[in-house]
Amino acid sequence: MYSQERINAYLNSLERPQNPALEKIRQQALAEGVPIIRPAVQSLLQFFMKLSRPESILEVGTAVGYSALCMREACGESCHIVTIEKDAERIAKARENFAAFGAQDQIRLLEGDAADRLRELPDGVFSFIFMDAAKGQYLAFLPEVCRVLAPGGMIFSDNVMQEGEVMDSRFAVPRRDRTIHSRMRRYLYVLKHTEGLTTSVLPLGDGVAVTVKEGESVRLMSAESPEKEAGSAAARDDGRESAPGADSCGIHSGAVAAGNAAIQKDTAGGKNDGE
Ligand code: SAM
């Protein structure tokens, strides 16, 4: 079998050179240790942009604006991008980068925590959502993300494999990483088993989940007690989760509150989940 590292190195090597101005931002971000989208995943993201031509895009996790500029490049001047970031230094750099590309009117940067900013956005307005913020918060963001996503729209969630750790038993994962591990397993389970969503998980880069909202209605599974459910399920070694609580709920149920409460509880350090 090929190692994931070898696959990624090969796929990245196939990428053709990109716009030098974008490449400069990428290099600068890498030199400064800012986490940005990997080349093969960028290529997939741009592929979906060209395939679906979304007019209205939401990104959760701007960093310095690299991926927002990549999406803009792929979908053309007519699309509008809203992107959310909470880190002040990165916000300043992203604004600088958007201005350098003359994109400040096309890309709207919302400052602050995505949990707050998402709640302020109207229903069903985005046809494409790129999830790329703290991985342990994807599950808590999901009800609002489903609410603001238009029927037929797509969610593109990056880094869902957590360098492969997501496949491991909970007990094989360092204690400090178990909360993120449980939440990501639960997130993938909910994406795969929620009525009204269709999801495929791709082992590209650090793992990507692509999800389509089929129609108006999404009956999100409850995120209540995510750690308990995911924890007991994740104790299995075979990568499958046991059936979660049978109840499903509307997207405005207690899911957000439960997810947020779980985030507040997560003070144990562990994997750097800010990115
Ligand atoms: N999408 C960017 C790219 O590829 O160029 C990279 C984003 S980086 C992986 C994740 C970013 O999400 C970080 O800059 C981090 O500060 C931000 N972030 C993490 N949690 C957040 C939250 N709850 N609200 C807003 N931003 C958040």
Q: Which comes out higher in pLDDT, residue 178 or 68?
A: 68
Please state, in angstroms and rounded to a whole number, the distance separating the CA atoms of residues 98 and 65. Answer: 7
The dotted CATH code for 1-133 is: 3.40.50.150
Nearest residue (CA) to ligand 1, atom 26: 85
**Distance from the Cα of residue 72 to its chain's centroid:** 18
Whether residue 114 has its Cβ less than 6 Å from ligand 1: yes
Per-residue pLDDT band at 139 (split at 50, 70, 90): very high
- Please provide residue 118's backbone torsions phi and psi, each rounded to the nearest 5 degrees: -60, -40
Per domain, the residue ranges of the chain are 1-133
The pLDDT of 57-73, averaged and rounded, is: 98
Least confident of 109-118, 138-147, 183-192, 265-274: 265-274
Please state, in angstroms and rounded to a whole number, the distance separating the CA atoms of residues 191 and 139. Answer: 9
Please state, in angstroms and rounded to a whole number, the distance separating the CA atoms of residues 235 and 178. Answer: 11
What pLDDT shows up at residue 120? 98
pLDDT at 256 over 70: no
For residue 24, give both structure tokens: 């400069």
Whether residue 206 has its Cβ less than 6 Å from ligand 1: no
The pLDDT of 118-124, averaged and rounded, is: 98
Out of 49, 81, 86, give the residue to mutate to test ligand 1, the one with the largest number of ligand atoms within 8 Å of its CB: 86
What pLDDT shows up at residue 225? 46
pTM (two decimals): 0.85
Per-residue pLDDT band at 188 (split at 50, 70, 90): very high
Whether residue 67 has its Cβ less than 6 Å from ligand 1: yes
What pLDDT shows up at residue 231? 36
How much distance in Å is there from the Cα of 240 to the middle of ligand 1?
29
Contacts of 83 (CB under 8 A, 6+ apart): 58, 59, 60, 61, 62, 65, 68, 94, 107, 108, 109, 110
pLDDT at 100 over 50: yes
